[in-house]
């Protein structure tokens, strides 16, 4: 090109940004290396091959007799119960989550510490292990599905309310201002301005959570909180691989159906 053209100047990086960049890279690598230390990986066990093939053998020869036998303790009834636990749990948590979400949402016209305290509470709920929660509910309502549903309902609030509050934060705050301007109370603002526009996010996050809950519901059976978890755990502990196989198949079919339905709902509502 022409001679009047200037040379490309070097990239203007301040010492600080360069240092930050390098430091974060180094830090990341150090952390990664550190996390690999002290984990003695003893390699694949000699028995792994046999066991893997036993597992696959079981998975591919599922115990069909377990699918349905009318006793109420077959795969279909247990999955149905799991589904009911997940549904009820999600329902409960969606309702509890709404006030929590308003609390934790960092919107304008709100003191910083209010939303921050809400967020911390949600984090606390999230870090409370489901199993411990289930134990507490078992003490209150006895062992079985109700404890599972309640534990799930309470535990999910941590995540669901966080997702809701993020949705609230990303809402346009014009309508809220309009309601405030006509003399509406804070509650009016929530009901008239925020809720309607929040609906799509509410629905899709709840559906997403339902998905997760179905999987969690299968954990709670460990401590006697109902659902497919207990039979699954027993089958695993006593190495009944064909039973594991049919349960896994059942869960897959159920989740795929749920995915499909919730996809349809999402499309319809959003």
Smallest distance, Å, CB 226 to another protein? Answer: 7
* CA 136 to mean position of chain CA atoms: 21
Instruction: Return the CA Rg of the chain.
Output: 26
**Cβ closer to another protein: 15 or 140?**
140
**Cβ closer to another protein: 105 or 232?**
232
**CA–CA separation, 225 and 148 (whole Å):** 5
**CA–CA separation, 89 and 80 (whole Å):** 14
DSSP state of 171: S
**Cβ closer to another protein: 99 or 144?**
144
Smallest distance, Å, CB 257 to another protein? Answer: 11
Contact assessment for residue 85 and residue 227, using Cβ atoms and an 8 Å cutoff: yes
Contact assessment for residue 143 and residue 79, using Cβ atoms and an 8 Å cutoff: no
**Cβ closer to another protein: 97 or 218?**
218
Name the 3-class secondary structure at 63. Answer: coil
**Cβ closer to another protein: 67 or 233?**
233
Q: Which residue has the tokens 């490309």?
A: 8
Smallest distance, Å, CB 5 to another protein? Answer: 4
Smallest distance, Å, CB 98 to another protein? Answer: 13
Q: How many residues does the chain have?
A: 270
Nearest to 161 by CA among 124, 119, 203: 119
Smallest distance, Å, CB 266 to another protein? Answer: 12
Smallest distance, Å, CB 3 to another protein? Answer: 11
**Cβ closer to another protein: 1 or 15?**
1
* Angle between the N-to-C axes of helices 145-169 and 112-127, in degrees from 0 to 180, rounded to the nearest 10: 150
**CA–CA separation, 64 and 57 (whole Å):** 14
């Amino acid at each position: 090109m022409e001679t009047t053209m200037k040379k490309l100047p070097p990239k203007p990086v301040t010492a600080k940004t360069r240092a930050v960049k390098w430091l974060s890279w180094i830090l990341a690598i150090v952390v990664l290396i550190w996390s690999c230390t002290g984990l003695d990986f003893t390699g694949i066990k000699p028995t792994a091959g046999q066991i893997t093939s036993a597992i696959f053998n079981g998975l591919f020869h599922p115990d069909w007799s377990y699918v349905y036998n009318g006793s109420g303790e077959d795969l279909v009834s247990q999955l149905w119960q799991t589904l009911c636990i997940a549904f009820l749990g999600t329902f409960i948590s969606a309702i509890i989550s709404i006030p929590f979400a308003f609390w934790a949402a960092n919107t304008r016209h709100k003191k910083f510490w209010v939303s921050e305290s809400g967020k911390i509470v949600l984090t606390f709920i999230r870090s409370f292990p489901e199993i411990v929660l289930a134990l507490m509910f078992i003490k209150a309502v006895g062992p079985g599905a109700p404890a599972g549903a309640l534990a799930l309902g309470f535990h999910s609030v941590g995540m669901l309310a966080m997702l809701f509050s993020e949705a609230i934060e990303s809402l346009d705050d014009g309508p809220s201002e309009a309601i405030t301007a006509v003399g509406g109370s804070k509650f009016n603002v929530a009901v008239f301005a925020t809720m309607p526009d929040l609906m799509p996010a509410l629905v899709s996050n709840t559906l997403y959570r339902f998905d997760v809950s179905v999987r969690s519901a299968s954990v709670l059976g460990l401590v006697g909180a109902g659902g497919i978890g207990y039979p699954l755990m027993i089958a695993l502990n006593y190495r009944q691989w064909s039973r594991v196989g049919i349960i896994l198949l059942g869960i897959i079919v159920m989740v795929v159906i749920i995915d499909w339905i919730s996809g349809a709902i999402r499309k319809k509502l959003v």
